[in-house]
Structure 1
């Protein structure tokens, strides 16, 4: 996280707004004995200066903010369970919220968000696959509020602490399994191009294909989101190709489920006519029909590691690495089989 670029004091805000320090303090504390016009003027100056205030005295039981963007997926639920369980062990309350979207908005929105976290007594913040802006990072830095990101949606700054898994090795393992089953026409359906975990999984896929001398036509690779609907759309596009893949490596279990539906709609049987491998090993992988062969991420442990790391940072400790990767494992079930005779 970048170093703070200079603290903004109450005196600075008071002078700029043309009011007393006491009035600024009243606005920050939500006091009612301030006129609406004065309150609006002070709020505007606070936003302009990106003032996030000082952290209040610790509450009796510390709290950590756990935030996410978009919809809660089966992946997110597993991670949340890991964070919450680790919080219970550490006697820390975990507060779950949606991260406000302001990718192109003013920096003041990010500062307002951080002020709310600090006012709520948060010791640290943990993001799940969230896309953080420069304004977010700067506001967190000024407030000295530790941040840990799990599988960030965009490539994080080198000094942003993050937790993930061995996505490259997982991508290779999934692809090698399909290659060992005799497949050579293998498609890849991944997540956002800017996602670090997607880039690593796709690199593992390509490395395994290159090592086997198997070509990857451009139309065999499609990137979107890690969601079911994207699996349906991407799977449909791949399966409608004149020379369709005999196997598809999906970047998440939900995408893989979408591929199963795309195959069903076209009268294709899995795994007899099409092999599918997912990624995550969430509950939906075990409930799928057929059960998904997938790459297991230790999602709950990733959440637990993020919580413990955030608490260490909040206590002023240093961490050995800004990025922690936990090992992935290929779980073989019923959705992938030897290449069908043609």
Structure 2
């Protein structure tokens, strides 16, 4: 296995085979120019991918391999991590298909952990059919947090719009209980570091949205913002971290306030993702910040309603791939600059 210095090895988990994941993966690599700066390794089965290719009348050439040492630069490598045939029924929720989605994902994470691949891009899964005795995670992020060093944080990104979450896949009635000064501090430091390391922002400005309507209206509509959020932000600001808020969430995006900041951190899932997907749907990327390795994903789900029809838009998956490559290179540059402080000063001048 030889590797050109500029060619990044991209591991790809196949996602739910009955969804649009395999379709958008192969559509992305229909353009041969993609292979000039990255080499994909799809964790799945070459017979299954050949069936998908034939179904959608795609022309990309697949290179089946049985171990990672057989990878060939400049080809679409498909690592056979299972041998048996799989019944694909587009648009259907299938527990058996969920098992293959998990197998693809866990094998890809192991390769990422062992530095056999440089970055990981994950196709969408069905959070219901992946559950089993061996895999009890609400999604990709929680498993990555367990397997990789660091503190995982979901960061949704499109260009300079970046939305992070203090809490993610938990019920709304548990949000307040999870929001502690310690958690807020940890998450905001993760966002601050990611902006510097992964997005080359020298002095990040971070906006934080309030938990309650109107950020609690001075305690009239809940006390969490005054008693938990504000003290945490005040301490961080005094330490030199440029955090601002808490802002009232209802008007923050509509007024364009978000454009003044390098990232916005929401208190809970829908508070951040509804405005993000309204502004960026189809072109956004889900990035797992805070980990030792790079993982991205498109901002959409399995899309069972259009699966098998050949009409899936691959733009979000392609953007996820581009972002993984950009962050990989940004981290290399950041590491080089931190080893040479003079370069940091030169960049700031």
Structure 1-normalised TM-score?
A: 0.27
Higher RCO (Cα < 8 Å, 6 or more apart): 2
Structure 2-normalised TM-score?
A: 0.26
